[in-house]
Amino acid sequence: MANVPVEEALIGVAGGHVRGVNSRGGITLGQRPRDIERGDVRRAVDAARDISLPEDREVLHVLPHEFMVDAQNGIRDAIGMVGQRLEVNVHLVTSSVAATQNLVTAANKAGILISDTVLEPLASAESCLTQDERDLGCCLLDIGGGTTELIVFGGGVVRHTSAVAIGGDHFTNDLAVGLRTPIPEAERIKRRHGCAASAFMKGNGAIEIASVGDRPPRNIFAHMLTDIIEPRAMELLSLIRDDVQRAGLDGQIPAGFVLAGAARGSTGCWNLPRSHSICRCASRKQKAWLICRNRWHSRNMQP
């Protein structure tokens, strides 16, 4: 579409196989206090990373929270400080080895060299979130096709990553079944006319849709779309709420939610949680170097 050859790329990893876990590790610097060097920080992070994982899983990211030097905690950068004991809290993002390798293999067969892999919501956060949102506490929802990935920031660092098994394809399939229309047609009307909250409907006009097989087209009304989309949207929000509560972070996101991903483009989708918390849709920023630059911001190469 862009008519630009792509030879090398970073590839986004997402899906239900991605999991996040917090870990802590540390090292002893010696019997006497001394200056902390970059190599010491690296060894402390490696110690926190050294957790037991099944053979089919690998560490995708190691994201430091804070460092502790002796009895002093809450340190962002420990290099140059003096102490005897250096510890670090980190957030580890793990993924399935097979799932990640399948992505790399598919890209290689298309003639693209993969230089590295990155967690998709982390890449979206780099382009969508402001520093104020990261510092205050924010949850980004990357709504993909089959899953919705979430990443929670607090104090400027990643506190939690997870995924729930509902994405844009579930909304499309619901419409296809409920309206007895082909899946491509359901996708079209979802993006053009879909609204996830009846309170935000702007009208109830007639919409012509295709029928299955050789049956003639027929008309439906806008409220029929909302009657199908809204329950699924409420289920998605309930799963996200439960996930954040299990992580103990439900009271630590005062900056609210930011919706990214292709499926958030449905009209009214981002309005549904506004009555419960602060919410906004991601907007394009100049540094969105990983994001496809079209009207479906943060689409991340999804169909």
For residue range 90-128, list pLDDT tens digits in order: 999 999 999 999 999 999 999 999 999 999 999 999 888
Tell me what pLDDT residue 39 has: 95
Tell me what pLDDT residue 3 has: 78
9-114: CATH topology is Dna Ligase; domain 1 (3.30.1490)
Structure tokens at 144: 């993909």
Element (H, E) at 254: none
Tell me what pLDDT residue 76 has: 92
Tell me what pLDDT residue 198 has: 81
**Exposed / middle / buried, residue 163 (Cβ in 10 Å: 0-12, 13-18, 19+):** buried
The reply to whether the predicted model has a pTM over 0.75 is yes
Contacts of residue 183, Cβ cutoff 8 Å, sequence gap at least 6: 172, 173, 176
d(CA 261, CA 146): 11
Segments of the chain with pLDDT less than 70: 1, 262-303
Tell me what pLDDT residue 217 has: 93
Superfamily the domain 121-292 falls into = ATPase, nucleotide binding domain (3.30.420.40)
**Exposed / middle / buried, residue 65 (Cβ in 10 Å: 0-12, 13-18, 19+):** buried
Residue boundaries of the structural domains of the chain: 9-114, 121-292
Contacts of residue 70, Cβ cutoff 8 Å, sequence gap at least 6: 33, 83, 84, 85
**Exposed / middle / buried, residue 173 (Cβ in 10 Å: 0-12, 13-18, 19+):** middle
d(CA 278, CA 275): 8
Tell me what pLDDT residue 282 has: 61
